[in-house]
């Protein structure tokens, strides 16, 4: 399983990948004794293969770094003495091969007049099960992006990712605040939304504007069913919060494997995931989906905020979150509030899953579990049980994950966020907006 | 469908290296969770540290196998200190989140391409067996009886594993009936009361974390002894599976973790043999063989939920002993 998120066929990513490959190569060179020399990777592990060779005027180039990415899988490779490389890949489909130009000899670059980023190529693995990708190398200008452009691009992506996390984190935080459950099955609620969209838009062929609302409604209904079928009876039994937490872990495992049972272990794409790019400024560009996704996140988060601050139920929710017994004593129907919180939380998680499926891109059975810890990090960072803290925490985590990949290898980018989670808990365990007495 | 073969495989799994490894990890978790009340969700990291510590010190530094075991143990102690000193003052559910996050950090560090030359990144590590197998006093060949027929190496792995497990169980049994163990259980029941008695709760918790962590690391080593170290193993699911085994047997018991691990693997092995056979013979026409393998894990999740709700003390536990302290 790889955790690196890839968006193939997109210029936005290409620039990122070049930077990442450069970082990886530099790190590999500085940290280890010599380059991580490998000219064939995972060939015996996977059935499908991408290979090629890198030559300059028919002279092979050794130790040129390449990255092959696609289908949620990334691998770095270095050419051998004869300029050859080959990589085993897990499934048929499209892969992006990126040649790291900083590992070419000076004044040498990949030449292709028809392509503005000639060092990044798409390959498709079809019936034959393998594909060859050769780069044309010559004297010329390299495809480089300025640091500022990269940073801006990462910031925009980070904000997008953070808002997406925020949708899920607000729900998790509300549930925690009102019921005390650290719900480890929240990741599966995220996956549920994405899978329902896949079922209605991908399999049943409904248009996407119909499929997504249906998926969100079903997610909300799923939250209701979970509360009525599982959590409320457990509350009635007076089950302790540690037990509830482990029950949610069991539920998470069961749901995750139920998803795998039905959709299998591969990656599925939602319709419309290859939307056109819009150039913003410099070399920064965003896809239509990214923009729409950010707009939806912001609109939904604002409505939730309005709901929490202005409506009766929203106020009751905050009251229960503050002190359930006192809220009950003042005539608030705690059970009803909790039920509504579950519905809202599950709906938000479902929406977050749909957006996340476009952002990754792709739907996997364990996609929610992949970001569960980031959601927890966001919630903890903001302060357990505070909805707005969760939002701030999410944006910080989103930015951190994306921006940190400028400096550390892409496959370690979640590590930064998790380390921040741990450090925050040391110095300010109540989080940014939490209050001290919440911490025992 | 060969029912006899299925039963034989199932019985054989009682002595499987994976069973012994889970039992060791569960014993460690019993010290953390069952006795001390620490919600450690990072047992997979301890196992990873044990396994990688062993494999890396043999492969990269050329240590003998027992040196690798020591490195694994020392690694787990260092991890306990790094993890415990800052986090043991936190409330239970915070500790859970920190430990699970730390476990992911450890796993991603072992998985990343940046340290490929040492950790083997996604491919993991293998080929560290020479020293361990050279120390094998058993004659070559296959011996045993019935389902317990293994080759010389297989027996050697199992003997060492069972030996380590026996020592671990003995240690837990003896310390938990000592004054130290009573303080530890007191901390689980009521931390403030123990503090009021003048005990340094933090120090006791840290000692418990180190002790359980060593067993976790040893579990990881036993898991790695027969074949290879694969980073895909040490995911958070592994922690949850060990929890399932622990809660099945009884979290606050000496033999519960061992019984739980054995039952867990017996049922897993039985289902992993039986379900595909049922599919192939057409008894379960609505699923494929890979779906039947997934079904086992769905059942693990359901079993974990049911256990915690209906029998939180486990098979061997005493209902009076508060395993789940209400916070």
pLDDT category at B49 given cuts 50, 70, 90 is very high
Please report residues of A whose CB lies closer than 8 A to that of B307: 250
Q: Do residue B324 and residue A240 have CB atoms under 8 angstroms apart?
A: yes
Strand partners, B145: B148
Would you call B309 and A247 a contact, using CB atoms and an 8 Å cutoff? Answer: yes
* Predicted TM-score of the model (pTM): 0.81
Q: Three-state DSSP class for B226?
A: coil
Which residues of chain B make contact with A243, given a CB cutoff of 8 A?
Answer: 308-309, 312, 324
Query: What does the block give as tokens for B321?
Result: 């002993």
Q: Measured between CA atoms, how close is A65 to chain B, in angstroms?
A: 13
User: How far does A38 lie from chain B, in Å, by closest CA?
Assistant: 10
Domain count, chain B: 1
Which chain B residue has its CA at the smallest distance from A263's CA?
Answer: B291
- Across the A:B interface, residue pairs with CB atoms under 8 Å apart total 172
Domain-located, residue B187: yes
B residues 101-160 lying closer than 8 A (beta carbon) to A: 101-102, 104-105, 108-109, 111-118, 122-123
Sketch out chain A's domains with CATH numbers: 11-145 (2.60.40.10), 149-438 (1.10.3470)
Assess whether pLDDT exceeds 90 at residue B244. yes
| DSSP-derived 3-state class of residue B37 | coil
pLDDT digits (tens, 9 = 90+) for A330-377: 999 999 999 999 999 999 999 999 999 998 888 999 999 989 999 988
- DSSP letters of A291-305? HHHHHHHHHHHHHHH
Q: Do B294 and A257 touch (CB under 8 A)?
A: yes
Q: What ipTM, to 2 d.p.?
A: 0.91
C-alpha–C-alpha distance, residues B301 and A248, integer Å: 9
Integer Cα distance of B238 and B246 in angstroms: 12
Q: Please report whether residue B158 resides in a domain.
A: yes
Whether residue A3 is predicted with pLDDT greater than 60 in this model: the reply is: no
Chain A positions in Cβ-Cβ contact with residue B292 (cut-off 8 Å):
none
Is residue B124 one of the residues assigned to a domain?
A: yes
CB B36 within 8 A of CB B174: no
In a domain, B146, yes or no: yes
Q: Give me the pLDDT at residue A425, please.
A: 74
Buried b (16+ CB within 10 A) or exposed e, B176-196: beeeebebbbbbbeebeebee
- Nearest CA distance, B146 vs chain A (angstrom): 34
Domain that holds residue B88: 17-236
Residue B229 within a domain: yes
Instruction: Tell me the chain A residues in contact with residue B325 when contact means C-beta distances shorter than 8 Å.
Output: 240, 242
Least confident of A77-86, A153-162, A232-241: A77-86
Q: Please report which confidence band the pLDDT of residue A395 belongs to, taking 50, 70 and 90 as the band edges.
A: very high
Whether B324 and A250 lie within 8 Å, measured CB to CB: no
Say if the Cβ atoms of A251 and B87 lie within 8 Å.
no
More confident: B233 or A428:
B233
Between residues 28 and 57 of chain B, which touch chain A (CB distance below 8 Å)? 39
Taking the Cβ of residue A298 and every Cβ of chain B, the question of whether any pair is shorter than 8 Å is answered with: no
Does B179 fall in a domain? Answer: yes
- For residues B38 and A180, what is the distance between their CA atoms, to the nearest angstrom? 18
pLDDT in tens, A239-264: 888 889 999 999 999 999 999 999 98
- Count how many Cα atoms sit within 13 Å of the Cα of residue A401 in the half-sphere of its side chain: 29
User: How many whole angstroms separate alpha carbon A370 and alpha carbon A414?
Assistant: 10
- Provide mean pLDDT across the span B294-302: 93
> Is residue B228 less than 8 Å (CB to CB) from chain A?
no
Residues of A in contact with B284 (CB under 8 A): none
- Dihedral angle, C-alpha B9, B14, B18, B22, nearest 10 °: 150
């Amino acid at each position: 399983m790889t955790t690196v998120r890839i968006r193939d066929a997109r210029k936005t990513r290409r620039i990122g990948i070049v930077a990442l490959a450069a970082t990886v190569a530099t790190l590999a060179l500085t940290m280890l004794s010599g380059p991580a020399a490998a000219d064939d990777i995972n060939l015996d592990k996977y059935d499908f293969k991408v290979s090629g060779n890198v030559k300059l005027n028919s002279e092979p180039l050794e130790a040129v770094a390449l990255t092959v990415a696609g289908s949620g899988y990334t691998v770095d490779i270095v050419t051998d003495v004869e300029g050859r490389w080959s990589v085993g890949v897990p499934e048929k489909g499209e892969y992006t091969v990126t040649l790291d130009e900083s590992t070419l000899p000076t004044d040498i670059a990949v030449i292709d007049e028809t392509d503005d980023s000639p060092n990044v190529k798409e390959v498709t693995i079809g019936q034959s099960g393998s594909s060859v990708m050769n780069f044309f190398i010559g004297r010329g200008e390299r495809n480089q992006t300025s640091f500022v452009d990269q940073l801006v691009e990462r910031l925009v992506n980070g904000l997008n990712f953070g808002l997406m996390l925020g949708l899920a984190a607000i729900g998790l935080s509300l549930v925690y605040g009102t019921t005390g459950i650290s719900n480890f099955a929240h990741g599966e609620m995220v996956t549920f939304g994405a899978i329902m969209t896949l079922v209605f838009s991908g399999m049943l062929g409904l248009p996407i504007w119909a499929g997504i609302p249906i998926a969100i409604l079903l997610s909300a209904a799923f939250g209701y069913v979970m509360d009525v079928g599982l959590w409320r009876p457990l509350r009635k039994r007076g089950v302790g919060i540690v037990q509830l937490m482990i029950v949610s872990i069991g539920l998470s495992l069961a749901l995750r494997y139920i998803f795998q049972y039905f959709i299998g272990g591969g990656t599925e794409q939602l319709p419309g995931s290859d939307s056109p790019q819009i150039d913003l400024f410099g070399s920064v560009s965003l896809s239509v989906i990214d923009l729409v996704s950010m707009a939806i996140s912001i609109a939904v988060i604002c409505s939730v905020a309005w709901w929490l601050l202005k409506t009766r139920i929203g106020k009751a929710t905050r009251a229960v979150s503050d002190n359930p017994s006192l809220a009950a004593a003042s005539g608030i129907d705690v059970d009803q509030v909790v039920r509504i919180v579950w519905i809202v939380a599950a709906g938000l998680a479902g929406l977050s899953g749909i957006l996340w499926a476009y952002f990754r891109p792709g739907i996997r059975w364990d996609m929610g579990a992949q970001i569960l810890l980031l959601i927890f990090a966001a919630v903890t960072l903001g302060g357990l049980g505070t909805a707005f803290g969760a939002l701030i925490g999410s944006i910080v985590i989103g930015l951190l994950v994306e921006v940190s990949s400028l400096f550390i290898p892409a496959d370690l980018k979640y590590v930064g966020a998790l380390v921040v989670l741990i450090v925050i808990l040391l110095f300010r365990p109540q989080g940014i907006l939490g209050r001290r007495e919440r911490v025992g | 469908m060969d029912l006899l073969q299925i039963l034989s495989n199932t019985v054989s799994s009682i002595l499987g290296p994976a069973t012994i490894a889970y039992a060791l990890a569960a014993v460690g978790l019993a010290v953390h969770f069952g006795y001390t009340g620490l919600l450690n969700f990072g047992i997979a990291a301890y196992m990873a540290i044990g396994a990688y510590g062993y494999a890396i010190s043999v492969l990269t530094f050329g240590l003998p196998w027992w040196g690798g075991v020591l490195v694994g143990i020392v690694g787990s102690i260092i991890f306990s200190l790094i993890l415990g000193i800052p986090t043991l003052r936190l409330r239970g559910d915070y500790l859970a989140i920190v430990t699970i996050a730390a476990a992911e950090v450890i796993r991603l560090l072992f998985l990343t391409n940046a340290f490929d030359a040492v950790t083997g990144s996604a491919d993991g590590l293998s080929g560290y067996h020479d020293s361990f197998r050279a120390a094998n006093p058993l004659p070559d060949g296959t011996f045993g009886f019935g389902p317990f027929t293994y080759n010389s190496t297989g027996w050697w792995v199992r003997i060492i594993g069972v030996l380590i497990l026996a020592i671990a169980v003995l240690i837990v049994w003896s310390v938990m009936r000592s004054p130290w163990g009573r303080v530890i259980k007191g901390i689980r029941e009521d931390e403030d009361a123990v503090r009021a008695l003048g005990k340094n709760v933090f120090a006791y918790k840290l000692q418990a974390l180190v002790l359980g962590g060593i067993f976790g690391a040893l579990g990881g080593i036993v898991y790695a002894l027969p074949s290879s170290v694969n980073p895909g193993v040490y995911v958070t699911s592994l922690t949850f599976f060990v929890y399932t085994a622990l809660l099945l047997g009884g979290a606050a018991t000496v033999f519960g973790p061992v019984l739980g691990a054995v039952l867990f693997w017996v049922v897993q092995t039985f289902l992993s043999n039986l379900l595909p056979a049922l599919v192939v013979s057409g008894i379960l026409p609505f699923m494929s063989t890979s779906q039947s393998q997934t079904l086992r894990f769905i059942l693990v999740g359901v079993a974990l939920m049911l256990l915690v709700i209906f029998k939180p003390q486990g098979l061997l536990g005493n209902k009076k002993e508060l395993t789940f302290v209400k916070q």
